[in-house]
Chains A and B, each alone.
Chain A
Amino acid sequence: MKHRTFFWFILPTALAMLLFIALPIVSVVTQSLFTPHEQVFKTVESCTPFKCTEATVIDTEATEALREESPLGRFAGLSIYLDRGHLATAEVAEAWRSSDGLKDFFNKLGNLPFYRAMSFTLTYTFVVTPLLIILGFAIAVAVNSLHRHLKGLVIFFSLLPMIVSPLIGSLVLFWMIDSRGVLGTALQWLFADPNLSLKASTGLTWVMLIVYGVWHSAPFAFVVFYAGLQTLPQDTLESSMIDGATRWQQTRYVVIPHLMPLVTFVALIQLMDNFRVFEPIVGFNASAHATSLSWFIFNDLGGETRLLSSASASSVLTILGVAILLSPVLIRTWRDFNEKG
């Protein structure tokens, strides 16, 4: 392609990416480096239906003057990234100095919001992603061997978890596993423990969220693999049969190698998605046991006083986290591409 043609060809995409991807990232990074001005207080009398009292309020005129001087706020550098709500460098250093042994250190680390969120998010990501790939692959192979009259129906039902919106799906499950819900009661009966509650224990809440994650995302892997199976080279398959390959050997040496690029694709997308785990935490009301960076952003912006800088810093950390997670896969793809080229 001529450079000129290529330029005009790529221009609309490049513009859209600049507008909808690059600029928002620049904006988020900028916001995370600035914080609001120091607030000027004054004490005044305030009267409610109940009584009058002395109250502290913000002197809006004085604050407005400050704001006009520098509309972006105070330059904070990386201080938001390093504060207790995020990387908590000072607290981590203190924990390192004052702890006796690694176990104590990790306990103290688990008390800091960012590291607690990371421990859940990474566990979730690295358990859910492989499980959903295996499950999705198993469903795809099973459906592919069904009689064609049955296929349509089974495909529809297999896709249901993905069709249900995540928040609704998690709410449905939330009520079912309630200690008075149908699954919760069934588990109590099964384990003969009337006080068993999935929602009250951190470990069981994690298990529940992971099961939900696999249930919700497996259909995505299934659809992709099922599409891949339709392009399976029949010649190779037949020749392997002639060579006397068993069903397992056919799957292992013909089907899986053929689908490998798709596995990379699904892994990429799902690593990214699972790292941003959010809806199930809200749907399951699980914030007491499990949090994630996305939930931080929600929490910072949902309170009565909004923390924009803190939310921006969490967003940037999410972007960095995704980049780190994806880097091995991306590097591999890049190397493969170069080898072929």
Chain B
Amino acid sequence: MFLKKAALASVLALTAGGAFAECEISARVNIVGNEFPAIQTIGAGAKECTGAEVEANLTADHQKINLAGMTGNPAEYTSAIVANSSIVALMNDDVIRPLDDLVAEYGQGLKKNQLITIDGKVMAVAFMANAQHLVYRADVLEQVGVEPPKTYEDMLAAAKMIREQGIMEHPIGGAFAGGWNLAQEFTNMYIGMGGEFFKPGTAEVSINNDAGIASLEMMKALSEYMNPDFLTHDSNATNAEFRAGNVALMNMWGSRAATMTEAEGVSDEVKAGFAIAGPMTVGGGEVPATTLWWDGWTVAKNISDEEAASTFIALTHAIRPEILNEETSLQAVWLIDGYEPTAAATGVFEAATANAVPYPMLPFQGLLHTALGAELTDFMQGKEDAASALADVEAAYVAAAKEKGFLQ
């Protein structure tokens, strides 16, 4: 069996031609990360390295295991693939190492903007960017005679026309599922309204203000045009609604844009009408109501220097410019040298050029996110007014932050 696999691997390697750069490592590599096509490309790239074992555990539950798997000494995982929100938990517990010396030694091919630098130390190497932005049905908007909306207010107006003309009953889609998704939509909207989550320099939350209330009112107004089950719809479910032709306008993740209509049973009408635009603004604000995200890899602290070097080499190999081809270019908005944006990447690029804000990398942002996800559902169901929902969020956050030692 092993011989068979080895033979197969070498045949594959040979047929792939000389495109494979050399990658020799001397110690084990074990990667934990999320599971979507771009990250699978990275995992497969690292596994091309020879000389020692390379393992990759790519799963949607990566956040539940990465911290535990890196806390031990020696750590089980030598690297975790993270995003701007999830690196915080690893830094809070001090389980990832600064990469400056490794970058100097092995990272000549990396661009400056790929290096995530905190307090002057490189803590992660980013390889792709992501953001939520507008996706819409060009054919439906044409039918009602409106331009793709630039603001959420325009979106509401367009939705009203679509409903009134009897084209769709629930023209707006959105990942409003209680929990992480709902909190993310509030975060987008609140940033768009120009709100600040915390009093500067402290862990004291301050969202119960005009911007917070306006954000919630806008979310409520949007939900009036959504499928009544919206509080159970995550991005998978909204994606399915769009594919089924039930939705004409929604705020969607850039990483899903390329495969948005790629599924069995999607009608030609939906495929032909599918279009992408940049993120929308709200309430007359300048900053788009969205957040920028990066995905990148880290190297564990509690491993030997040899393992750290091997991990760095293997992952640098996995994000070298040669990995870009027709298939992989579509998988993400890569931050790798030589990447040419595809049509699917328009939305994320427009988000970046419109000065969208990165998702906050604060040690306590995750606690606020959890509190938002649990406490905003009452308001969305009309059981509570906006101000008391926000007061509940603040109270839930304060209890959690006190426990964690962020607040006295």
Chain A residues close to B by CB (< 8 Å): 35-39, 41-52, 55-58, 60, 63-64, 74, 76, 80, 83-85, 91, 111, 113, 178-180, 194-195, 197, 199-200, 202, 284-289, 299, 301-307, 309-310
Apart from A35-B404, A39-B404, A304-B86: 12 A-B pairs, beta carbons within 8 A: A35-B402, A36-B404, A44-B118, A64-B94, A84-B398, A85-B399, A178-B229, A304-B88, A304-B370, A307-B404, A309-B403, A310-B403
Q: Which of A55, A56, A63, A91 has the most CB of B within 10 A?
A: A56
Known: A47-B117, A55-B361. Is A35-B405 also a contact (CB below 8 A)?
yes
* Structural contact, A58 and B363, CB atoms closer than 8 A: yes
* Structural contact, B232 and A285, CB atoms closer than 8 A: yes
Measured between beta carbons, the chain B residues less than 8 angstroms from A46 are 116-119, 361
Residue in B120, B294, B378 whose beta carbon sits within 8 Å of that of A111 in the complex = B378
Task: Report the separation of the CA atoms of residues A278 and B120 in the bound assembly, to the nearest whole angstrom.
Answer: 45
Known: A46-B361, A49-B114, A288-B232. Is A57-B120 also a contact (CB below 8 A)?
no
CB nearest to B362 among chain A residues: A56
Task: Report the separation of the CA atoms of residues A18 and B94 in the bound assembly, to the nearest whole angstrom.
Answer: 34
Question: A-facing mask of B370-408, CB < 8 A → 1, else 0?
Answer: 100010011011001000100010011011101111101
Minimal beta-carbon separation of A38 from chain B (angstroms)? 4
Q: Which of B227, B352, B365 has the most CB of A within 10 A?
A: B227
Give 17 pairs: A residue, B residue, CB < 8 Å, sorted on A: A38-B405, A39-B363, A43-B201, A44-B118, A48-B126, A48-B292, A48-B361, A49-B129, A50-B294, A64-B94, A197-B228, A200-B228, A285-B177, A299-B370, A303-B367, A304-B63, A304-B370
Q: Which of B124-147 contact A (CB under 8 A)?
A: 126, 129
Measured between beta carbons, the chain A residues less than 8 angstroms from B398 are 84
Measured between beta carbons, the chain A residues less than 8 angstroms from B5 are none
Counting CB contacts under 8 A, is B115 at the interface? yes
* Structural contact, B380 and A57, CB atoms closer than 8 A: no
* Structural contact, B178 and A287, CB atoms closer than 8 A: yes
Measured between beta carbons, the chain B residues less than 8 angstroms from A284 are 232
CB nearest to A86 among chain B residues: B399
Task: Report the separation of the CA atoms of residues A39 and B118 in the bound assembly, to the nearest whole angstrom.
Answer: 18
Known: A48-B84, A57-B118, A200-B229. Is A305-B366 also a contact (CB below 8 A)?
yes
Q: Which of B323-361 contact A (CB under 8 A)?
A: 335, 352, 358, 361
Known: A39-B363, A48-B126, A287-B374. Is A84-B396 also a contact (CB below 8 A)?
yes
Residue in A55, A83, A285 whose beta carbon sits within 8 Å of that of B399 in the complex = A83
Task: Report the separation of the CA atoms of residues A64 and B92 in the bound assembly, to the nearest whole angstrom.
Answer: 11
Residue in B92, B178, B292, B399 whose beta carbon sits within 8 Å of that of A305 in the complex = B92
Residue in A52, A58, A287 whose beta carbon sits within 8 Å of that of B91 in the complex = A58
Which 6 A-B residue pairings sit nearest by Cβ, starting from the closest?
A: A304-B366, A44-B119, A288-B178, A288-B377, A305-B366, A60-B94
Minimal beta-carbon separation of B128 from chain A (angstroms)? 9
Task: Report the separation of the CA atoms of residues A65 and B99 in the bound assembly, to the nearest whole angstrom.
Answer: 23
Measured between beta carbons, the chain A residues less than 8 angstroms from B94 are 60, 63-64
Residue in A56, A58, A80, A288 whose beta carbon sits within 8 Å of that of B403 in the complex = A80
Measured between beta carbons, the chain A residues less than 8 angstroms from B402 are 35, 83
Residue in A36, A39, A57, A179 whose beta carbon sits within 8 Å of that of B229 in the complex = A179
Counting CB contacts under 8 A, is B222 at the interface? no
Minimal beta-carbon separation of A191 from chain B (angstroms)? 14
Measured between beta carbons, the chain A residues less than 8 angstroms from B177 are 285
